[in-house]
Amino acid sequence: MRPLEFGWYLPTHGDTTAYGLMEAQVAGSPELCERVVKAAEDAGFEYLLIPVGSVCWEAWISGAFMAARSERIKPLIAARPGYINPVLMAKMISTFDQMSGGRICINLIAGQNESEVEAEGVRYAKEERYALMEEEVSILKALWTTRGPVHFQGKFHTISGAHIRPRPLQQPFPKFYLGGGSRQAWEVSAKHSDVHLFWGDLPERIAENIAEIRRMARAHDREDAIGFGMRLQVICREDETDAWEAADRLVRHATERQKQEMKTLYIRSEANQRVQQLARDYGDLLMPHLWTGITRVRPGAGIAVVGNPAQCAATLQRFIDAGCHSFCLSGYLHDEEAERFGRLIRPILAANNRGRLAA
């Protein structure tokens, strides 16, 4: 079995304890990022997801900042199709890997919000972006592993005699992560990803999806090469009542505009459609301690594990038992919730999964 790994989230866009309440907002700043980086590393997280989007600070610069202010934790940085020439991207990643001492992993993102992607000058539809992603990852891997010049002829890119230095420190190259609910996302993961991340869902559904992606990976002789994980929120308090109060406060003051945006801006994302449908079908709880409330105000990872340490650990264990080994987590405020996870939840998971997670 694969070792368990845990990642956290760097809120470059700012933080909050209550959506819609101005006095609860924490502005994005270097100081906020530094607090979260330190808290996540001290809590034992292996990687830190750096978000992208119009409200987020630039991910590569943020990742370099983070690496300079930490010793072990790896930034998980987005590679987005159509944004950076793949030859330059290969050199950026391998240079970062060398200069950070082998501390980078790559997050493959096609984009959730069509209007935002168009506003940033990318004119490919979502289906084309996945095809472009597949080409670009193929080019990256070829540049890192081929002896001699690389030639590539595809629908989107033509590469003639390219070669780069340095090669990555991590051999043969850093790990690739991809989160997505569409068939195209699964196809790219089956061929290229080291970890496919799912957003919150029922554990039995996750087990079914894992089996299907493994079947798809078998066609590329990668059935055992790909692993699986969850992208979830965590709201943990030593007393369960306090955890549910924090959960309620997080969404209680959300504006109608915030709620409406969740219904319109991300409508083409199949993963977003799935979490929104789960909230409609199951209401506030998919199962005890798996709460859908954040889907009202936040795209993507809107399903949260809520409860006391034992309840949160037991809920995460359900996903471990379903076949997941990687958990990309977040919670509000991000420095405080990271500390609670490391102090309260991680020791329980380590005790229950001996040999897969260091205490």
The answer regarding whether domain 5-352 maps to CATH 3.20.20.30 reads yes
Q: Write the pLDDT tens digit of every residue in 269-318.
A: 666 677 777 767 777 899 999 999 998 888 778 899 999 999 999 999 99
Residue of 263, 340, 334, 329 whose CA lies nearest to 298: 263
> What pLDDT is attached to residue 359?
58
> What pLDDT is attached to residue 227?
98
Decide if 229 contacts 198 (C-beta within 8 A).
Answer: yes
> What pLDDT is attached to residue 337?
99
CA distance 243 to 269: 30
pLDDT score of 60 more than 90: yes
Mean per-residue pLDDT, 62-74:
97
> Strand pairing partners for 236?
307
Percent of the chain with pLDDT over 70: 96
Mean per-residue pLDDT, 13-31:
96
CA distance 295 to 63: 27
User: Which of these ranges, 121-135, 324-338, 340-354, has the smallest mean pLDDT?
Assistant: 121-135
Q: Write the pLDDT tens digit of every residue in 166-182.
A: 999 999 999 999 998 88
Q: How high does pLDDT run on average in the chain? A: 93
> What pLDDT is attached to residue 114?
76
Q: Write the pLDDT tens digit of every residue in 140-152.
A: 999 999 999 999 9
Interior angle at CA 230, CA 5 and CA 45, nearest 5: 30
Mean per-residue pLDDT, 99-105:
98
Q: Write the pLDDT tens digit of every residue in 206-220.
A: 999 999 999 999 999
What Å distances lie between residue 179 and 186, 295, 349, CA to CA? 9, 17, 24
Parse the chain into domains and list their residue ranges: 5-352
Q: Name the pLDDT band for 34 (thresholds 50, 70, 90).
A: very high
- Alpha helix stretches (DSSP H) within the chain: 30-42, 59-68, 86-99, 114-119, 126-145, 183-192, 203-218, 240-252, 256-264, 270-282, 309-322, 334-340, 346-352
Alpha-carbon Rg for the chain, nearest whole angstrom, is 20
> What pLDDT is attached to residue 265?
58
> What pLDDT is attached to residue 266?
56
Q: Write the pLDDT tens digit of every residue in 228-275.
A: 999 999 999 999 999 999 999 999 998 878 777 766 655 556 666 777
What Å distances lie between residue 240 and 198, 251, 333, CA to CA? 26, 18, 18
What is the dihedral angle through the alpha carbons of 192, 197, 198, 202, rounded to the nearest 10 degrees?
120
> What pLDDT is attached to residue 124?
83
Residue type, position 62, single letter: S
CA distance 352 to 357: 9
Percent of the chain with pLDDT over 90: 81
Mean per-residue pLDDT, 65-87:
96
